[in-house]
Structure 1
Amino acid sequence: MSDPYPTTEAHASRAPKPTKSLLDRMLALVRRREPEDREGIKAVLDAAHDRHLLDVEAYGMIKGALAVSERTVADIMVPRSRMDLLDVSLSVPQLVALIIDAGHSRFPVYEDDRDNIIGILLAKDLLRSMLDPSIELRSLVRPAVFIPETKRLNVLLREFRASHNHLAIVIDEHGGISGLVTMEDVLEQIVGDIEDEFDEEDEQSIFPEGENQWRLMAATEISHFNEAFQTDLPDDEYDSVGGWVGGQLGRIPRRGDSATHGDIVIEVIRADARRALWLRAKRNPAAHANGADNGASSNT
């Protein structure tokens, strides 16, 4: 005769076993093959990815987090030659024009010499004060944070979070300005490229600015560019217009660089340390596509 009051253990034996979480499965994998060093940890991650315990996004983020502790500021900083700086003596209209052109939210501010950085300006601080005609840039400048090239990225990220700063000036062993680094630069080492307020979420990537002038994302596919402008930009080596511009220059494009194809001049209007971001295309109606010279030029 069956027990009319089965014990809790009986119920438990008939209950379905809970599905193991991702963490449980990872821990089980680690216990079977306990890593002894960083390379061992990477091997466990590779095995977890191969066994579909980690998807591509999670796998990339965990490996990025490990890499952050191995890399230094010098590996990812924007070099001094490519820093967008503001002169403290400029007028508000001049500052606004430079801020709009560069498209950043924070700028190092210098006095007299570009190596003499006196602080950081937040674009939003300037915008809030524009109605005051007597405002001086110096009154809006916040203290700058200076860090050495050798600082590890995981340490910098922790300091950024603790201090609520988002930008630091990088100095070399002699105290000279080497470049700058932002919190976004560090986070991108973990999560990949982060879209900002200038990135478009839809498929449109070419925007008219006036007669015979357009603004376009550097990631615009060459096939799309050729279709829009009725050009024959070669796509056998590069997929994007920004990639083609870099190929013409023979290096990573900088703001102000330009390349010409037929009657179209393509100028770099925004770039970071790794690639061009935004371009401006200008068509010369007087030039004939078959007769115009192709080439590239630089502002440096």
Structure 2
Amino acid sequence: MNLQNGTIGEKAEAEPSSSNKGGFWSWLKKLVTTRNGDASLKESLEEVIEEFEAEDSSLREEERSIIKNTLAFGDKRVDEIMVPRADIIAVEASTGFEELMQVFRQASTSRLPVYRESLDEVIAMVHIKDVFKAFASREAEDGELPPLKSLHRPILFVPPSMRLMDILVKMQATHIHMALVVDEYGGTDGLVTIEDLVEQIVGDIEDEHDIVAEELLSELPGGRLRADARLTIEELEDLLSLDLLPDEQDDDVDTLGGLVFTLAGSIPHVGEIVEHDNGLRFEIIEGDERRIKTILIHRPKPETMPPNNQAAGGDSGNGD
């Protein structure tokens, strides 16, 4: 949404006011007149968005999405968006310069946490800009590469319950754009960067240096599905037209990996098959002692499915 160079203003001038009812400029005017002393700005925004969604509005989908995401941003907590501990890529404090450059190359990220002994003792972060500067200086002066310690930058430490707006303000004030999420005992729970925060408003950001992530779900011959354990339950339920969780667990389990862990009662081993009451079978094809990574989903034959699920899965085929 371009608010600069008069984009919105030009659009408003180009369209007569009588025909601009659904336009973004008109939307903003309506917001101003809708708000009153008894309603908060957020409530007013939500009401206006709902009203304009029901109309033939020229407010673009991406504009509505950004506004909605901004409204939701203030209510979200750090632990809802953080990179979980198991997925954190970091370097040990004694890592050599050459190895550090290799980690940056493979991780395709601009910042890395630095730790001593374990991720529960993160002491700093290192930025790829500093690494390249040091490397360029060595090349120019034909000198030695510096130790990792000389490249350390400070890192923030925040609790998992911290609101996203608060951590964003803290990052802006300190100019530190990486935060380690720590629990009440000082252990590492996860990691959040300023890019993670921005993506909550504008959606996924991929620049020219990003490696496009593999799809979390792919269909294989025979109706089987190969799925990343991070696939959300909501996405899988939509695809299969099945309800995979009882109502009392809907708020407790978010991912396919969490579902399989819940069904098994422990972290299943590679090759183990976990069965669901509706006939689905989840085969672990990649993982370790700490987490499930990739799952092969076997869909049952229509005649073997419970009666209430046959219509949804009747064309799915046999997973064996």
Deviation at 1:199, TM superposition (A): 4.3
Letter in 1 for 2:112: F
- Whether the 8 Å contact between 2:180 and 2:192 is mirrored in structure 1 is yes
Deviation at 1:217, TM superposition (A): 4.9
The residue aligned with 2:49 is 45
Q: Which has the higher helix share?
A: 2
Question: Is 1:185 matched up with 2:187?
Answer: no
Q: Deviations over 1:148-196 (max 9, x none)?
A: 2122112222222232222111112233221110111111111111112
Change (3 A) 1:23 1:136: same
From 206, 214, 217, give the equivalent of 1:218.
214
Deviation at 1:101, TM superposition (A): 1.3
Deviation at 1:43, TM superposition (A): 2.7
SS in 2 for 1:112: coil
Give the Cα separation in 1 of the matches to 2:155 and 2:103. Answer: 20
The residue aligned with 1:211 is none
Letter in 1 for 2:127: L
Runs of 5+ in structure 1 lacking a partner? 1-15, 201-215, 224-232, 239-243, 254-273, 276-293
SS in 2 for 1:118: strand
Aligned Cα root-mean-square deviation (Å): 3.3
Superposed, which structure 2 residues align to 1:251-270 within 5 Å? 251-252=229-230
Give the Cα separation in 2 of the matches to 1:221 and 1:150. Answer: 31
Q: Deviations over 1:68-87 (max 9, x none)?
A: 10001111011122211101
The residue aligned with 2:69 is 64
Greater RCO structure (CA 8 Å; 6+ sep): 1
Q: Deviations over 1:76-100 (max 9, x none)?
A: 0111222111011121122222221
Question: Is 1:36 matched up with 2:39?
Answer: yes
From 200, 203, 209, give the equivalent of 1:198.
209
Deviation at 1:53, TM superposition (A): 4.5
Letter in 1 for 2:230: I
Letter in 2 for 1:102: A
- Whether the 8 Å contact between 1:222 and 1:234 is mirrored in structure 2 is no
Residue identity over aligned pairs, in percent, reads 32
Bigger Rg, which one:
1
Change (3 A) 1:134 1:41: closer
The residue aligned with 2:313 is none
Superposed, which structure 2 residues align to 1:217-256 within 5 Å? 217-219=213-215, 233-234=220-221, 244-246=226-228, 251-252=229-230
SS in 1 for 2:121: strand
Report the TM-score, using the length of structure 1 for normalisation. Answer: 0.61
Letter in 1 for 2:286: S
What is the total number of aligned residue pairs between the two structures? 215
Give the Cα separation in 2 of the matches to 1:42 and 1:57. Answer: 16
Q: Which has the higher strand share?
A: 1
Question: Is 1:173 matched up with 2:176?
Answer: no
Change (3 A) 1:93 1:23: same
Letter in 1 for 2:152: V
Report the TM-score, using the length of structure 2 for normalisation. Answer: 0.58
- Whether the 8 Å contact between 2:34 and 2:44 is mirrored in structure 1 is no
Runs of 5+ in structure 2 lacking a partner? 1-13, 232-254, 257-282, 291-320
